[in-house]
Structure 1
Amino acid sequence: WAPLVEVAILFAGIFVTMQPAAALLAHHGLGWAARLGLQHPWQFFWLTGLLSSMLDNAPTYVTATAVASSMVGGDPQHLASLCHGAAAPLLDAISCGAVMMGANTYLGNGPNFMVKALAERHGVRMPSFFAYMGYSGALLLPTFVLITLLFYR
């Protein structure tokens, strides 16, 4: 159970550290996308993806959708409003960035970290955090650039 406990503690910490960002969104309300210079789906794809690489993708997704909601004049409390109309490409970019780029590190996706811990426990030598980032970057970065050019430009 040790790997599961380790992952649970890690992600509880991530959710706690995401609270200041959520508080900023709640305090400042609409207009966060403009303040951050976000205008296009590709920007949301990369911002969400890069954050999701270092944080869990679930709180990153929720935070990015709240920012996108402010961009289209929606209510961050009702994120379903992003599913229709002009906002749909933003939600698509956020979803893909959070899910796909979560694979960039051991932290971006809970199972990555758990599999690493289980493998090491059974004597399998696993790459260090930065070595894993190097491997994933070499393999995935060209794919993410291609996805950006094909779907979000």
Structure 2
Amino acid sequence: MSETRWLTPREAEIWATYRRLCRDLRRAQDQQLQQDSGISAADYALLAPLSESADGVLRARDLGVEVDWERSRLSHQISRMEKRGLVVREACEDDARGSMVRLTVKGRETIEAAAPGHVEIVRQLFFDPLDADEMKTLGEFLGRIVATVEGNAGGRA
């Protein structure tokens, strides 16, 4: 068994800063969506990929993969959104066990109304503090980290 590679004080500081960033960005986005559009971040998480899909329809399983949610969480969220008229479930023609999720007219209007404020808060809090060189570097760093995480998804480094 290998010896634990503890974080250095600087690494621990960077990791804590990253965790605070994730928490604070999520909180700011949640507040902005609720205040400006009356929807939750969970609503937005499902409305966005549906609005970007062909005909506003996705297979429920694919939508769950897109947002990385378990089937039960996805099903409960879709049910809540159905009650508010944002989406409807339809039978899947290819698979009787599967279902499709369709964006309604109200759902499309909701995401189109919410998107400008969402984009503005992302721009204001994430991109505006960076200059072009820093943004390029951050993109490269994030790409490398994501590739490492995805390459290690099935095991440990």
TM, length-normalised to structure 2: 0.28
Flag the structure with higher strand content: 2
Bigger share in helix:
1
Between Structure 1 and Structure 2, whose CA radius of gyration is higher? 2
